[in-house]
Amino acid sequence: MTVKQVTRTSPNRPPTAEGKLRSGWALLLIGAFAIATLWLTRPVTPVQGISPVAGLLTLKASAQTAMPYGGAIANHQPTLIEFYADWCTTCQGLAPTLAALHQQYGPALNFVMLNIDDPQWRDQIERYGVAGVPHVVLQDGQGTIRETFIGNVPRSVLAQRIQALL
């Protein structure tokens, strides 16, 4: 006995009004979810902070203009020390904020940047208890630590604490 396979084909029916309505609602719902997803996941940082390349360039430029650690400790002036790493995206995002503060308070405050990937700073990393980056330390002219911040810190908070230190 042979078994014959039968395939049924249905004629191509035009969509009904009810089917069109369901398709329309489905597309509308998908569009609403897409817009909500884009809105909720949008960056909330300023445009300059969006580009990782811009943040890295600012970080590198700031490191070049920063005061050497030994000079900052020796001159008995209040000091901001940032422990950072080039690969740290939060450090890159904080770089424009610290650069602006450096311009604003430069003569009155030492700005020091220490790259945690450089082995010469191991003693300082241990002394200041650096466990994550960016790690920002504010110390007075006698070398006493007044404030420590880890992570992204708003400019207004840093400016307020620097003013209090000065």
- Measuring CA to CA, how many Å separate 159 from each of 6, 72, 103? 80, 19, 12
Q: Is 60 left (phi over 0), alpha (psi -120 to 50) or beta?
A: alpha
Give yes or no for residue 38 having a pLDDT over 90.
no
Q: Is 161 a catalytic residue?
A: no
Is 96 inside any structural domain?
yes
In this structure, are strands 135-139 and 110-115 parallel, antiparallel, or unpaired?
unpaired
Q: Is 19 a catalytic residue?
A: no
Is 126 inside any structural domain?
yes
pLDDT on residue 31 = 80
Catalytic residue among 88, 133, 137, 165: 88
Number of domains in the chain: 1
Catalytic residue among 80, 81, 91, 95: 91
pLDDT on residue 107 = 86
pLDDT for 107-164, tens place per residue?
Answer: 899 999 999 999 999 999 999 999 999 999 999 999 999 999 999 999 999 999 999 9
Is 28 inside any structural domain?
no
Is 44 inside any structural domain?
no
Lowest mean pLDDT, pick from 6-15, 75-84, 113-122:
6-15
pLDDT on residue 46 = 46
Domain that holds residue 156: 49-165
Give yes or no for residue 56 having a pLDDT over 50.
yes
Is 100 inside any structural domain?
yes
pLDDT band at 18 (very low <50, low <70, confident <90, very high): confident
CATH number, domain of 67, equals: 3.40.30.10
Instruction: Kindly give, in sequence order, each residue whose CB lies less than 8 Å from that of residue 6, ignoring residues fewer than 6 positions away.
Output: none
pLDDT band at 29 (very low <50, low <70, confident <90, very high): confident
How many helices (H) and strands (E) the chain has is answered by 7, 4
Is 27 inside any structural domain?
no
Is 161 inside any structural domain?
yes
Is 160 inside any structural domain?
yes
